[in-house]
Structures are given as structure tokens and as C-alpha cells.
Amino acid sequence: MVEHATHPTVLDSGQRHIGTVYAKALLGAAAKAGLTEQVLAELDSFVVDVLERMPKLEATLASPNVPPEAKVRLLDRAFADSMSPVLLKFLKVASKHRRLDSLHAIHRAVHDLYNEATGRVDVFVRTAEPLTDEMRGDLAARLEAQLGRRVNLRATLDEGLIGGIVIRVGDTVYDGSVAQQLRRLRDETLDRTAQSLSQSLERFEANP
Amino acid sequence: MRFNTDEIASVLQQEIEQFDSQVDVREVGTVIEIGDGIARVYGLSGVMSGEMVEFPNGVQGQAFNLEENSVGIIILGDYLGINEGDEVRALGRLLSVPVGDAVVGRVLDPLGNPLDGKGPVDASQRRPVEVIATGVAQRKPVSQPLQTGIKAVDAMTPIGRGQRELIIGDRKTGKTAIAIDAIVNQKTSGVKCFYVAIGQKDSSVAGLIAQLEQHGAMDYTTVIVSGASTPAPLQYIAPYAGTAMAEHFMFHGGHALIVYDDLTRQAQAYRQLSLLMRRPPGREAYPGDVFYCHSRLLERSAKLSDELGGGSLTSLPIIETLEGEVSAYIPTNVISITDGQIYLQPDLFFAGQRPAMNAGISVSRVGGAAQVKAMKKVAGGLRLDLAAFRELEAFAQLGTELDAATQGRLDRGYRMVELLKQPQYQPMHVVDQVLSIYAGTRGYLDQVPVSEVRAWEEAFLKFIHEQRQELWRSLDEKKDLTNEIEAEIKAALSAFQAQYANRAK
């Protein structure tokens, strides 16, 4: 069996598009049943606790060699008791359409769409030192005031920043890190010094 | 020289004191695909077409294709250091190059980085590479001549300042030689020259720069090199970058000459980019907008109105044809854009006629307006006469008996062809050209054997410079063939004929 090469940086725009289409359908069905929060939590758990812990199950579900009927039986046996019917039906439909290989994209798209619908925004924060709870609260409050939306703060540690903070909202990055400032200081100083050197070389001449 | 480290330290300290910390706000994206000089980037949702972006290793790129889910970037530099997943930052500005006196005499890459090892380009000004050409109201008809110093060109297809004259021909027919001679001839005219080498062997460009240096032409010339080994995006932008540098002089009231050597390669680089970007291919697999690629470039050559300083930018685009096929896609496009073409033919080249210009299909659509009056009077009809001679010559080869008049026209033709031959790197002053061609068209060469024509011309010009300086000077001053001057030329010619006949004996 061919193993699927998965790489965290792979971004397939085609898959993302498929993910958005299925995510819309899932959110619509969940909203109709009045179970949006529950379905979302279950999908999170399904992706994080099941798929990521059991790569073989994921490979089976994604494999085109396994017939869809077998996948449906597998899903029924494993989750019929524990999963809400909306999500289970959705997984079966996705299986019949041979789209179970796009589950990660669907998961991401569901979150993006839900955030958009509820006025939330994911904010990725990188700092050189761990954020305290107090700092987190303060940062979230100030970002919410600034952006006018509720904020999901996702913090990561990056010692390469030396100090300061890098905030990413959507495609925009606010870089207030010490590393960036040092880089800029070096570039500007080099530029200006080279300029003053070429303008008046005699100024730098040592007196004999 | 020894450096005073304290002074350097004080400059650095000053810089550090004045440095204000700012939060750097940038739009970013992620590389999802990379290769062959292009990258596909996810994100960058607010990026504009043509905006510059920066990769983590410092290489810059330009947003080329804006698609629904991704942005196509052309990478202006080494793309091997970029990886999938790298963060791409939008720079919020357009591509620009350094301009001004600092670039004159330099050899640069299309981004304005020096390639000649003469230190950084110390330019205070920059100019965007892509700008819209000046409009109708800002222009003036072409009226001043741009002397190439080549008899055949200046007499039959005169080039004016602000004109676009295409040089077209097969490989190895002397296309570059014409352009280089035109550059060498600008030594005293004050015209700034720009030579854009696209997709050429680095060795031939190096040889060419050495020739320019040897003839003192590098003092007023800038060479922009994007060799065959550079990625296609750089070859694609090279002509625009060169034009931006040349335009700077035009907008400051000066005159500039730019040579694009050659646009066939640029079109091929653009085709490569477009196909990699999955733009639909058209005729000969070129993208649909390859015409616009050249028209917007050549339209930037102009003669500005007096309100804008009356500066000019003349361009000599070069196109290489395959087996004389001028009706291929790119040649027809560029022929239709330019104000005339100089067509070079391999059979003429190998027959020893250099420059190997075909007088029949070479034209200059600006024509007489860009010729000094004297030349206009002397060379009027020369092009058509030569074309007729070529026909007659072909007919005469059939071995038919010819009447005296036809034989006379043939003889005159052979001598004119001989007279229009000119070695490379020896541009002629326009007055010398007028005198030579006057002698030829007025029949003073009819009694000279064809093999002696060039020696005769050399001796004649030497005679004028040594013994008729007054005539030379008044012709240079008036640039017109007044009755008195013409009478003087006639007198000089008969005097010389007598001397020449005596010397020959």
C-alpha cells in the first residue's frame, strides 16, 4: 500500500476549496439540528483524539483502495453510540463522495467559517517568553478593542525573537520583536554609514 | 589611507541614537509551490498586481498572477534557497531601479546591482521599472537626427531622436554591430547610451563591454546584463529596467539611446513565465499579451514637448529571425510597433556587403524629418535606386545583352554598394558621409574601378580634411547644400580627381 506523504507545510488550495464546500454543508446541518457547538466539539475531538492518534485509521479512511461501503460500516461500528447523528451522517456522506482524505481541510474550514459567522478571529501570537494568564487576558482585551471582534488567542513560544511580540491576524503580521528591530537597525546603519563614507571619505581619515 | 575608527564609531552611534523602534506591519503568505523561477503563494490576500514581495532569504519577487486561492510570484533572483512553507512578506511598493548619473559607465543587473566590481551604485534617486508611457499632449514630432555614423543607415534609413528603429535579421548578420557603432558614434553628441543584453552569452557581453571601453564609449554608456544563465523573470524585466534608467535623462531634458539586444529572447522568457503560470498559450505558444509586452516597452521611447524640456529617448530594438522569416509572430509584432526597420540579410553579409542592409525592405517611417538637409538632398532617392539596382543585377545575371544606359546604371550601382560598405567601430561624421555620397550619386566614381572605390573615398576625405578645411567647416555649420557649397564641392572634386589620376600613374 502506498503511504501518504504528509507534511505540515503542504497547503493544497484545491483541498481547501473542497474543505470549504463540505464545511458549509456540515455547519448548515448542525445549525438546523441546533447542535452547532456540540458538533464542533465532536469534530475537534474526532480529528485531534482519533485521527491524529491513530494514523492507520486515518490512512484507511483516506485510502481509495478501501471501498466506501466498508468505510461506512467501520464508522458505524466505531462511532454509532458515541457520535451525534449529524456528524456521523456527514462522515458517511463524505465517505460515499470519497472525500474522507480532506477531513483536515474540512476541519480547518469549519473553524474558519464558524469564527467568521460568530464574529471571532484567530490571532496567532509568538513571544520569546511564555505569556502569563494576566498578559494573555490583557492582550486579548486590547486586541478585541482594536479589531472589534472576539479573539481566539493562539500563543506559541519562539526564542529566536529575543524579546517583544509578533502578532498575526489573517494575512497581516505585526512584528514588534527585538530580532526584527535589530535586523532593521543593522540594515539602516550599514546603509547610512556606507553613504557617509562615499560622500566624504576624508572625514574618516586618521590624522598621521 | 588609514581610517579613523573613532569617526566611524561616532557615525554608528548617531545612527543608533536616531533609530526609532517601530512595529513592522506586513502582509504575509506561505509558499505552497516553488520552482523554475516562480512561486505560488497562499495568503497575501491584499497584495496588488506588480507589488514587490520578499522571501526569508532576502530574495525579492513580484506578484504576477492574482488567483482565487493563490498568488503567482516571479522570483527576481536565486530561487534555489526558497522552500515550501516559507513566509513571504509583501513590501508594499513597486519594483524600482537606481537612476541618474551614478549609473552611467556601469555594468548592472536588471535590479540595478553592480556587476562590474566598481563598488555600490551611489544613486540618490530611484524610478519605477514599469510606468505608463507619456501621452500625446506631452510629445512632439521627431525632428532632430540621431547620427549612427553608419553611411548606409544615416543616408537611407535615418533615425531621429525619439524614434524606434528595429534592427532585424538572422543570426550572425551584424545586428549588434550596427547598434554598437551607433553607441560609439555618440561620443561627442552628449546622448547617454544604454545597452540591454537579454539572454546572451556572458562571454559575448564581456567582449562587447571590452570593445566599448576600448573605444571610450563606456564613459557615457550603461550596460544592463541579464545573461542566458539568469532566471527568466530577470530576463523579462531587463528591458523595462533599462528604459527606466534611460527615461530619467529624457525627463531631465537630455537625450538617451537604448538598445534592446534582443527582444526575441525577452519574448521567450515571458513565454516561459506565462506558461509556468498556466496562462493560456496562443500562437507559437506565446501568451495573448506578448504584443502588449513589447508595445508598452517601445511606446516609452519618445520626443518630449518643449514644456517638458524637449528630451528624447531613441530605441533600437533587435529581433533575431529564423531563416529570414519576418512573418513569424514576434517579428511582425515588433515591426508593426516600431517606426521602421533595418533588415540585415545573410547573403549580403557573406557577399562582403557590411553592414548587410537590404535597401529594398529597410525603411524609416520618420524619414527625412530626422535628416540633416544636406544629407536629404544628397541621398534622396538613393534607397530606391539601390533597390532598383538589385533587381537589375538579378536580371543582368541571366546573361542578356545590355544597352549602354542599363550598363551605366549597373556600374553606378556596383560603385554605390562599394561606397556604402563600412568597417565596424569606424563611425563617420555626417559631413564626411555627405561628401562621399555626393561623389557617388553624382557620378564622380563612375571612372574609378570598383575595387578602388574604398581607397578613393579614403583619399578623397583625407584631401578634404587637409586641403579644403573651409568647405568642411562651412558644411558642418550650415548642414545644408547651398549653391555656393555645392559649387565648392564640385570644384574640390575635380581638383581631387586630377590629383588622384596623377598619383595613380
What integer pLDDT is reported at residue A9 of this predicted model? 44
CA of B34 vs chain A CAs: smallest distance (Å): 12
- Is A198 in the B-facing interface, judged by CB distances under 8 Å? yes
Contact B492, B464 (CB under 8 A): yes
Per-residue pLDDT tens digits for A159-190:
899 988 999 998 899 998 999 899 888 888 88
Window B:34-73, CB contacts with A under 8 Å: 42-46, 69-70
Contact B274, B236 (CB under 8 A): no
Enter the DSSP assignment of B77.
S
Q: How many CA atoms lie within 13 A of B244 on its CB side?
A: 23
Nearest residue on chain A to B8, judged by CA atoms? A204
- C-alpha grid cell for residue A146? 482594536
**Which residues of B are less than 8 Å from A161 in CB distance?**
none
| Phi, psi for A177 (deg, rounded to 5) | -85, 155
Enter the DSSP assignment of B283.
G
Q: What is the pLDDT along chain B (505 residues), one digit of tens a residue?
A: 677 778 778 877 887 887 777 788 889 999 988 988 999 998 898 899 999 999 999 999 999 999 888 899 999 999 999 998 899 999 999 999 999 999 999 999 999 999 999 988 888 899 999 999 999 999 999 999 999 999 999 999 999 999 999 999 999 999 999 999 999 999 999 999 999 999 999 999 999 999 999 999 999 999 999 999 999 999 999 999 999 999 999 999 999 999 999 999 999 999 999 999 999 999 999 999 999 999 999 999 999 999 999 999 999 999 999 999 999 999 999 999 999 999 999 999 999 999 999 998 999 998 678 899 999 999 988 988 898 998 888 888 877 778 888 888 899 999 999 999 999 999 999 999 999 999 999 999 999 999 999 999 999 999 999 999 999 999 999 999 999 999 999 999 999 999 998 875 5
Residues 6+ apart with CB under 8 A from A145: none
What integer pLDDT is reported at residue B142 of this predicted model? 94
Angle at B379 between CA B374 and CA B382, to 5 degrees: 175
Window B:159-178, CB contacts with A under 8 Å: none
Contact B262, B204 (CB under 8 A): no
Contact B79, B88 (CB under 8 A): no
What integer pLDDT is reported at residue A2 of this predicted model? 43
Name which CATH class applies to B28-94: mainly beta
- Is A21 in the B-facing interface, judged by CB distances under 8 Å? no
- Asked if B89's CB is within 8 angstroms of A172's CB, the reply is no
- Distance of alpha carbon B147 from alpha carbon B429, whole angstroms: 8
Contact B353, B126 (CB under 8 A): no
What integer pLDDT is reported at residue B353 of this predicted model? 92
- Give the domain A13-116 fold: Peroxidase; domain 1 (1.10.520)
- Extract the runs of DSSP E, i.e. beta strands, from B309-366: 312-320, 340-344, 363-364
If pLDDT is split at 50, 70 and 90, which confidence band does A6 have? Answer: very low
Query: Is the Cα torsion angle B263, B186, B246, B311 positive or negative in sign?
Result: negative
Helix (H) / strand (E) element for A138: namely helix A133-147
- Is B91 in the A-facing interface, judged by CB distances under 8 Å? no
What integer pLDDT is reported at residue B272 of this predicted model? 96
Nearest to B474, CA basis, from B462, B454, B489, B459: B489
Q: How many CA atoms lie within 13 A of A78 on its CB side?
A: 14
- Distance of alpha carbon B115 from alpha carbon B95, whole angstroms: 19
- Asked if A16's CB is within 8 angstroms of B69's CB, the reply is yes
DSSP B176-238: HHHHHHHHHGGGTT--EEEEEEES--HHHHHHHHHHHHHTTGGGSEEEEEE-TTS-HHHHHHH
- Distance of alpha carbon A163 from alpha carbon A114, whole angstroms: 33
Give CA separation, A16 vs A4, B70, B119, B381, in Å.
18, 11, 48, 70
Question: Own/partner pairs for B442-448, CB < 8 Å, 24+ apart?
Answer: B443/B412, B444/B493, B444/B497, B445/B415, B445/B419, B446/B408, B446/B411, B446/B412, B446/B415, B448/B415
Regarding beta strands B96-99 and B24-35, do their DSSP bridges make them parallel or antiparallel, or are they unpaired? Answer: unpaired
- Distance of alpha carbon B208 from alpha carbon B200, whole angstroms: 11
- Is B122 in the A-facing interface, judged by CB distances under 8 Å? yes
Q: How many CA atoms lie within 13 A of B329 on its CB side?
A: 15
- Distance of alpha carbon A9 from alpha carbon B320, whole angstroms: 44
CATH code for residues B98-371: 3.40.50.300
Nearest to B95, CA basis, from B236, B301, B263: B236
Residues 6+ apart with CB under 8 A from B427: B147, B148, B149, B150, B181, B182, B184, B185
- Is A108 in the B-facing interface, judged by CB distances under 8 Å? no
Give residue limits of the domains in chain A. Answer: 13-116, 121-199
- C-alpha grid cell for residue A84? 451525534
CA B358 to chain CA mean position, Å: 19
What integer pLDDT is reported at residue A1 of this predicted model? 40
| Phi, psi for B64 (deg, rounded to 5) | -115, -40
**Which residues of A are less than 8 Å from B84 in CB distance?**
7, 9-10
**Which residues of B are less than 8 Å from A185 in CB distance?**
15-16, 19
The amino acid occupying position B61 is: G
Q: Which of A7, A13, A143 to mutate: most B Cβ within 10 Å?
A: A13
Tell me the ipTM for this assembly: 0.72
CA of B47 vs chain A CAs: smallest distance (Å): 10
Nearest to B171, CA basis, from B383, B22, B14, B356: B356
Bin B278: left if φ > 0, else alpha if -120 < ψ < 50, else beta.
Answer: left
Nearest to B293, CA basis, from B326, B321, B260: B260
Percent composition of chain B: helix, strand, coil (DSSP 3-state, to 5): 45, 20, 35
- Distance of alpha carbon B332 from alpha carbon B264, whole angstroms: 12
Judged by DSSP in three states, B56 sits in coil
**Which residues of A are less than 8 Å from B25 in CB distance?**
172-175
Residues 6+ apart with CB under 8 A from A66: A60
- Is A184 in the B-facing interface, judged by CB distances under 8 Å? yes
In sequence order, the β-bridge partners of residue B28 are B89
Q: How many CB atoms lie within 10 A of CB A67?
A: 12
Nearest residue on chain B to A11, judged by CA atoms? B32
**Between B16, B27, B29, which is nearest A185 by CB?**
B16
- Distance of alpha carbon B101 from alpha carbon B106, whole angstroms: 10
Bin A170: left if φ > 0, else alpha if -120 < ψ < 50, else beta.
Answer: left
Catalytic residue at B139?
Answer: no
- Is A162 in the B-facing interface, judged by CB distances under 8 Å? no
Enter the DSSP assignment of B102.
G
A:B CB pairs within 8 Å: 91
The CATH homologous superfamily to which domain B379-504 belongs is: ATP synthase alpha/beta chain, C-terminal domain (1.20.150.20)
- Asked if B28's CB is within 8 angstroms of A205's CB, the reply is no
| Phi, psi for B384 (deg, rounded to 5) | -70, -40
Q: What is the pTM (predicted TM-score) of this model?
A: 0.88
Residues 6+ apart with CB under 8 A from B111: B60, B76, B77, B95, B97, B234, B241
**Between B1, B27, B30, which is nearest A205 by CB?**
B1
Q: Which of B26, B34, B65, B70 to mutate: most A Cβ within 10 Å?
A: B26
Per-residue pLDDT tens digits for A121-164:
889 999 999 989 999 999 999 999 988 888 988 889 998 999 88
Nearest residue on chain B to A164, judged by CA atoms? B23
What integer pLDDT is reported at residue A5 of this predicted model? 43
- Asked if A207's CB is within 8 angstroms of B4's CB, the reply is yes
CA of B72 vs chain A CAs: smallest distance (Å): 13
Q: Of B300, B365, B409, B468, which one is the catalytic site residue?
A: B365
Give residue limits of the domains in chain B. Answer: 28-94, 98-371, 379-504
Nearest residue on chain B to A206, judged by CA atoms? B4
**Between A17, A175, A206, which is nearest B24 by CB?**
A175
**Which residues of A are less than 8 Å from B24 in CB distance?**
173-176, 180, 184
Q: Please confirm whether the linkage preceding B101 is cis (ω < 30° from 0).
A: no
